[in-house]
Amino acid sequence: MQKTLVLIKPDGVQRGLVGEVLHRFEAVGLKILALKMVHPSHEDVDRHYALTEEWMRAVYDKAKAKYDASNQAFPYSDHIAYGTEIKRGLVDFLKSAPVVAMVLEGEQAVPLVRKIVGATEPASSAPGTIRGDLSHDTYALSNSQNRPLRNLINASGTEDEANQEIAIW
């Protein structure tokens, strides 16, 4: 059995979506091994969002592709500038209010949770996913308002990432 970490971010907690999110995971047979509501410290959030070259390039490529597809100029010159700015915003947002942290267990838990959660950008998430059904934010809107994407939830991307994140939370 595989374990993964899920965080319901401040926007999900403030909108009262904790029960809905928990229900979706339990409905597919995932087991909740641990669950807590916490007001995160700067140190924990900073460790959670590891600023690696790979991560910075991935967030940059995703966001830039959205701008390119709509024929808009992307406001950042490279992945390091964008990644650094995104991390700053994510850290500030995640520690701004309580979050719900949970460890889920099940067969192929990491990819299953990612499937249930949906694409990072809610506007691109399929109907039936948490982000597709419960949020509608876009990269363009969040960038124009100089704030992080409000996508309700964070889910580990790999089993190694899950193990590192579980240790933090």
For 45-83, give the DSSP string: HHHHS---HHHHHHHHHHHHHHHHHTT---S-SSHHHHH
115-147 confidence digits (pLDDT tens)? 999 999 899 999 999 999 999 998 788 878 888
pLDDT band at 74 (very low <50, low <70, confident <90, very high): confident
Contact 53, 60 (CB under 8 A): no
The pLDDT score that the predictor gives to residue 154 is 96
24-58 confidence digits (pLDDT tens)? 999 999 999 999 999 999 999 999 987 888 888 88
The pLDDT score that the predictor gives to residue 55 is 81
Task: Give me the torsion for CA of 160, 163, 166, 167, rounded to 10°.
Answer: -120
Contact 26, 104 (CB under 8 A): no
Average pLDDT, the chain: 93
Q: Tell me which range, 9-18, 71-80, 142-151, is most confidently predicted by mean pLDDT.
A: 9-18
Q: Higher model confidence: residue 116 or residue 65?
A: 116
- C-alpha span between 146 and 161 (Å, rounded): 27
The pLDDT score that the predictor gives to residue 86 is 83
Element (H, E) at 139: helix 139-144
- C-alpha span between 119 and 102 (Å, rounded): 20
The pLDDT score that the predictor gives to residue 150 is 93
pLDDT band at 62 (very low <50, low <70, confident <90, very high): confident
86: Cβ contacts below 8 Å, ≥ 6 apart: 56, 59, 148
- Region 64-89 average pLDDT: 86
pTM exceeding the 0.85 threshold for the entire prediction = yes
Residue 83 has pLDDT above 80, yes or no: yes
- C-alpha span between 42 and 38 (Å, rounded): 12
